[in-house]
Structure 1
Amino acid sequence: MPATHTATATATSTGLGTFQSRVELAGQTLIADEPADAGGTDSGPTPYHMLAAALATCTTMTLRAYAAQKGLEIGLVSTEATHHRAPGQTPSDRFERTITLDPRLDEAVRAKLLAIAERCPVHNTLTIGSLVVTRLAEGESDT
C-alpha cells in the first residue's frame, strides 16, 4: 500500500428501522444494520462485522502480496477475524484472527507469514491507533 492512501465510505440512513444504512464505497453499495435483538432489521452486517472483515481481508491480501513479492508459492490463504466487545475491560475490544495456510508449507515459511500478518495495515490501525476528525457538512442535507 502506498505511504499515503485515502479510502472514503459514505453511510446514509435508509429510513427503514433505526439502524439500516446504505454504505457506498469504492463504487459498490451494501446495506449495514444491527441484529433484530439490538433494535435493527438484521438486513446487513454490523459496523463491527465490517471492521472484522477489514482485518481478515487485509491480512489475506498482505500475505498474498508478500508471497508474490518474494516469489513464494503459498497457495490459497484464508483469514477469519472475530470481534469481541467486553465493556468494562481494558481494552474493551478484542480481535481474534485465525489464518489458514496450505499445510504443505514448511514451518519457517509459516512462521514468517505469521510475522508478516502482524504488519498488515489494518492490524496496525487497530493496534497503534488513528486520529478521527469530525465536522458537520455545510448547508442542507440532500438526502
Structure 2
Amino acid sequence: MADSSPTHLVEGEAVAHSDNTSFVTKLDIAGHTMVADEPVDVGGTDTGPSPYGLLSGALAACTAMTLHAYAKMKSLPVTDIRVKVKHEKIHEVDCENCEQDDKAKIDRLERTIWIEGDVDDKARERMMQIADRCPVHRTLTSQIRIVTRAG
C-alpha cells in the first residue's frame, strides 16, 4: 500500500508514526515535531509525554493562554500564570456500572491555577471563571465525535 500520509499539516492536524518496535511514537503536530511514549512502568522508555500527558498539557497550555489573553485585554497586573493538570482514572460515586464492575472508572482532570500579581479578589475570581472558557476545556466538556477512516 502506498504511503498517503499528508506532507503539510495545518493547525488542528496531527500525524503519529510508530515503527512498531516500541511505544515511542513520532508526532508531527501542524509542523511541530516531538515524540510521545509511555512510562517505564507500563513498558515504555519515558522519552516523551504519554498520550494522557499530552492531553493534560493541552488543557494546561490552553488555560494559561486564555488567562493571559484575558489579563492582557483587561490590563490586569498579572505577572505569572501557572496551570497544573493531573489526569487520573477514579471511581465516581455515581458512576454507571460501578456496583457491577469493580474496574468501572471515569477520567478526572484536576486543574490547579496560580495567578501572580497585584490582582484583587474579584478579578482573581473572574479569572478562575474564565479558565473554564478555554477552548480545550470546552471541547473536553462537550460532546465529541471521533470519525475513523482508512487512509
TM-score (norm 1): 0.84
**Structure with bigger RCO (C-alpha 8 Å, 6+ apart):** 2
1:103 shift after superposition: 5.3
Any residues of structure 2 matched to 1:4-83 within 5 Å, and which? 7-17=12-22, 19-83=23-87
**Over residues 16-61 of structure 1, what are the superposed CA-to-partner deviations in whole Å (9 max), with x where a residue is unaligned?**
41x2100011322111111122122222110000000000000000
Q: Letter of the aligned partner of 1:120 in structure 2?
A: C
- Identify the match of residue 108 of structure 1 among 106, 118, 122: 122
1:134 shift after superposition: 0.7
Q: Over alpha carbons, which structure has the higher Rg?
A: 2
Q: Flag structure 2 segments of 5+ consecutive residues without an equivalent.
A: 1-9, 91-102
The 1-side partners of 2:46 and 2:77 are apart by 40
Query: RMSD value over aligned CA atoms?
Result: 1.7
The answer to whether structure 1 residue 97 and structure 2 residue 102 are counterparts is no
Provide the secondary structure at the position in 2 that maps to 1:101: strand
Number of residues paired by the alignment? 130
1:126 shift after superposition: 1.0
1:125 shift after superposition: 1.0
| Structure with more strand by fraction | 2
The sequence identity of aligned pairs, in percent, is 43
Q: Letter of the aligned partner of 1:41 in structure 2?
A: T
- Identify the match of residue 88 of structure 2 among 65, 84, 88: 84
Deviation beyond 6 Å, 4+ runs, structure 1: none
Contact 2:77–2:118 (CA under 8 A) maintained in structure 1: no
- Identify the match of residue 122 of structure 1 among 110, 132, 136: 136
The 2-side partners of 1:96 and 1:11 are apart by 26
Residue matched to 2:100: none
